[in-house]
Amino acid sequence: MCGIVGYIGNRVASEVILKGLQRLEYRGYDSAGIAVINDDIKIVKVKGKVNMLVSLADDHNVSGHMGIGHTRWATHGEPNDVNAHPHTGATGKFALVHNGIIENYDVLRQDLEQKGHMFTGETDTEVLAHLIEEIHEMSDHDFFHSVQQALLQVEGTYGIAVIHKDNPDRIIVARKGSPLLIGVGENEHFIASDASPIIEYTKKVVYLEDGEMAVITSDGYEVSTLKDVLLTKEVHELAMSLEQIEKGGFPHFMLKEIFEQSDTIADCMRGRLMVHENRIQLGGLDGVVEKLANARRVIIAACGTSWHAGLVGEYLFEYLAHMPVEVEYASEFRYRQQLIDERDVMIVISQSGETADTLAALREAKKRGAMVLGICNVVGSTIARETDAGVYTHAGPEIGVASTKAFTAQVTILTMMAMLMGRETNVISDDYMRKLVKELRSVPAKIEEILKDTSDIEAIARLFTYAPNFLYLGRSYNFPVALEGALKLKEISYIHAEGYPAAEMKHGPIALIDEHMPVVVIAATDHTNDKMISNIEEVRARKGRLIAISSDGQSGVARHAEFNITIPEVHDCMTPLLTAVPLQLLSYYIAVNRKCDVDQPRNLAKSVTVE
- Cβ proximity to ligand M6R: between 358 and 408 the closer is 358
Cβ-contact 179, 378 below 8 angstroms? no
Rounded to an integer, what distance in angstroms lies between the CA atom of residue 336 and that of residue 351? Answer: 24
Q: How far is the CB of 325 from ligand M6R (least distance, A)?
A: 18
Q: How far is the CB of 377 from ligand M6R (least distance, A)?
A: 8
Q: Site residues for ligand M6R, window 338-367 (CB under 6 A)?
A: 350-352, 355, 358
Q: Site residues for ligand M6R, window 218-277 (CB under 6 A)?
A: none
Among 202, 218, 306, 564, binds ligand M6R (CB under 6 A): 306
Question: What residue number has its CB nearest to ligand M6R?
Answer: 304
Of the residues 2, 268, 376, 596, only one is catalytic, namely 2
Considering only 50-58, 60-68, 397-405, 473-481, which stretch makes contact with ligand M6R by CB under 6 A? 397-405
Give the x/- contact pattern for ligand M6R in 491-510, rule: CB under 6 A: x-------------------
Cβ-contact 483, 305 below 8 angstroms? no
Q: How far is the CB of 353 from ligand M6R (least distance, A)?
A: 7
Other beta carbons within 10 Å of 125: 29
Q: Does 381 bind ligand M6R (CB under 6 A)?
A: no
Q: Does 193 bind ligand M6R (CB under 6 A)?
A: no
Q: Does 551 bind ligand M6R (CB under 6 A)?
A: no
Cβ-contact 504, 513 below 8 angstroms? no
3-state helix, strand, coil in the chain (%, to 5): 40, 25, 35
Residue 247 bears catalytic tag: no
- Where are the alpha helices (H) located in 270-404, listed in sequence order? 289-293, 304-321, 330-333, 356-367, 382-386
- Cβ proximity to ligand M6R: between 167 and 412 the closer is 412
Rounded to an integer, what distance in angstroms lies between the CA atom of residue 434 and that of residue 472? Answer: 33
Among 22, 88, 218, 305, binds ligand M6R (CB under 6 A): 305
Cβ-contact 549, 567 below 8 angstroms? yes
- Cβ proximity to ligand M6R: between 99 and 351 the closer is 351
Q: Does 331 bind ligand M6R (CB under 6 A)?
A: no
- Where are the alpha helices (H) located in 479-542, listed in sequence order? 479-493, 529-541
Q: How far is the CB of 365 from ligand M6R (least distance, A)?
A: 16
Of the residues 42, 49, 93, 606, only one is catalytic, namely 606
Size, binding site for ligand M6R by CB under 6 A: 16
Q: Site residues for ligand M6R, window 585-604 (CB under 6 A)?
A: 604
Give the x/- contact pattern for ligand M6R in 438-477, rule: CB under 6 A: ----------------------------------------
- Cβ proximity to ligand M6R: between 505 and 591 the closer is 591
Edge to edge, what strands does the sheet with 230-231 contain?
87-88, 94-99, 158-164, 171-176, 212-216, 221-225, 230-231
Among 182, 208, 273, 401, binds ligand M6R (CB under 6 A): 401
Name which of 284, 240, 547, 527 is nearest 395 in CA terms. 240
Q: Does 539 bind ligand M6R (CB under 6 A)?
A: no
What kind and span of H or E run contains 263? helix 261-269
- Cβ proximity to ligand M6R: between 88 and 607 the closer is 607
Rounded to an integer, what distance in angstroms lies between the CA atom of residue 109 and that of residue 5? Answer: 26
Q: Does 382 bind ligand M6R (CB under 6 A)?
A: no
Q: Does 310 bind ligand M6R (CB under 6 A)?
A: no
Q: Does 386 bind ligand M6R (CB under 6 A)?
A: no
Rounded to an integer, what distance in angstroms lies between the CA atom of residue 370 and that of residue 202? Answer: 38
Q: Does 303 bind ligand M6R (CB under 6 A)?
A: yes
- Cβ proximity to ligand M6R: between 351 and 476 the closer is 351
What kind and span of H or E run contains 558? helix 555-560
Rounded to an integer, what distance in angstroms lies between the CA atom of residue 157 and that of residue 154? Answer: 8
State the virtual CA torsion across 592, 597, 602, 604 in degrees, nearest 10.
100
- Cβ proximity to ligand M6R: between 160 and 406 the closer is 406
DSSP letter string, 312-327? HHHHHHHHHH---EEE
What is the CA 437 to chain-centroid distance, rounded? 29
- Region of 177 (left: φ > 0; alpha: ψ -120 to 50; beta: rest) is left
Residue 47 bears catalytic tag: no
Q: Does 584 bind ligand M6R (CB under 6 A)?
A: no
Among 403, 412, 478, 528, binds ligand M6R (CB under 6 A): 403
Helix axes 405-424, 575-593, angle to 10 degrees: 170
| Residue numbers at the binding site for ligand M6R (CB under 6 A) | 303-306, 350-352, 355, 358, 401-403, 491, 604, 607-608
Catalytic residues: 2, 606
